[in-house]
């Protein structure tokens, strides 16, 4: 019985990958993920600060992540950042499948100098975002901080997750965003871990998520 459970678990883990392409008149995006990777990232979104944040997701989530994007950044970065969030959400939804065996819930607190952020996630199948980050300035370099919520809204709506993001304290806006993305990566890692005591079981009393 234990051997059969182990084999089912191994088979389930081996399939947790996705390759998703999204093409619109505003952006062209390809995202490849492996939820059981080692944190490797190949990133070319056309928005350097976004690449820096996506690298945090990959590294702290132990997710192999490839993002290739071109967009109308000559207008601004809005469409690219939002559509990367949408496509990443679609890729997660595809890779995680029926969610059998996953832990489902994840949370993380991440500090960076004076800043502390908390992220809590539930792979519930129900999109919901609470984003409470009192940014101390409007831009980090060329990056509009308001695009952070657009990224996470796109992710949430297409991954089908409930996500609570709270920056508990912070002065430096770069630190605020970076702790959010690091905590998001670590919360993802926790939620997506395979629970060896629940191999093949969907973590819901309803039997589906």
Domain boundaries, the chain: 2-198
Can you give the pTM of this predicted structure? 0.93
pLDDT in tens, 40-71: 999 999 999 999 999 999 999 999 999 999 99
User: Is domain 2-198 in CATH 3.30.230.40, yes or no?
Assistant: yes
Length of the chain: 209
pLDDT in tens, 168-195: 999 999 999 999 999 999 999 999 999 9
């Amino acid at each position: 019985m234990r051997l059969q459970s182990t084999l089912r678990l191994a088979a389930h883990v081996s399939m947790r990958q996705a390759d998703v392409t999204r093409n619109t008149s505003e952006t062209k995006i390809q995202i490849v993920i492996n939820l059981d990777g080692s944190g490797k990232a190949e990133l070319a979104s056309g928005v350097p600060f976004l690449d820096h944040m996506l690298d945090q997701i990959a590294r702290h989530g132990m997710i192999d992540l490839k993002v290739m994007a071109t967009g109308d950044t000559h207008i601004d970065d809005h469409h690219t950042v939002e559509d990367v969030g949408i496509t990443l959400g679609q890729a997660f939804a595809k890779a995680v499948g029926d969610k059998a065996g996953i832990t489902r819930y994840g949370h993380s607190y991440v500090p960076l100098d004076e800043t502390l952020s908390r992220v809590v996630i539930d792979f519930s199948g129900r999109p919901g975002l609470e984003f409470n980050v009192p940014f101390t300035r409007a831009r980090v370099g060329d990056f509009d901080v308001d695009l952070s919520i657009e990224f996470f809204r796109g992710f949430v709506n297409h991954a089908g997750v409930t996500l609570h993001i709270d920056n508990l304290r912070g002065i430096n806006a770069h630190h605020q965003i970076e702790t959010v993305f690091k905590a998001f990566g670590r919360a993802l890692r926790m939620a997506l871990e395979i629970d060896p005591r629940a191999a093949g079981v969907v973590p819901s009393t309803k039997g589906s998520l």
